[in-house]
Amino acid sequence: MLLGKVIGTVTPSVVYTGLEGVPLLLVQPLTKEQKESGKPIVAADATRQAGPDDLIYYEGGREAAMALEVTFVPVDHSIIGIVDNVNLREDA
C-alpha cells in the first residue's frame, strides 16, 4: 500500500456491472514525506467515507478489487483506509 491524497471525485454515468454505487475518487500518490509523486489515479473507495483533502492509503492490483463488496470487478486501485496520523522517524 502507498499513501495518497484525495484531490477530487469522479462521477461516472455508466459503470461496469458490479461497480454501481462504488465511490470513485481522484487520488494523488504521495511519498512517505507526503510530497506529490507521479500522476493522479482514479481509485475506488472501499471505506466509502473518504473525501477531498483526506490523507489515505490505497492498494493496487488484484487486492484493490478484493477490498470492495463485489470482489470480481475491473478495479486497479482501491482506498483501504483514511490516515489519522503518520509517525515517521525524525531522520527518515
Partner 1 sequence: MILGKVCGQIDSTINHPFYDGKRLLIIDKIRPDGSPTGSYLIAIDSVGAGVDETVIIVDEGGSARQIIGDSVAPLRSIVVGIVDQVAK
Closest separation between CB of residue 8 and partner 1, Å? 19
Closest separation between CB of residue 21 and partner 1, Å? 17
Q: List all residues 6 or more positions away from 63 whose beta carbon is below 8 Å from its beta carbon.
A: 78
In the complex with partner 1, the residue whose CB is nearer, 8 or 81, is 81
Q: Which residues bind partner 1 (CB under 8 A)?
A: 1-3, 31-32, 46-47, 49-50, 57, 59, 61-64, 66-67, 71, 78, 80-89, 92
Task: Give the position of cell 466509502.
Answer: 48
- φ/ψ bin of 84: left (φ > 0), alpha (ψ from -120 to 50), beta (otherwise): alpha
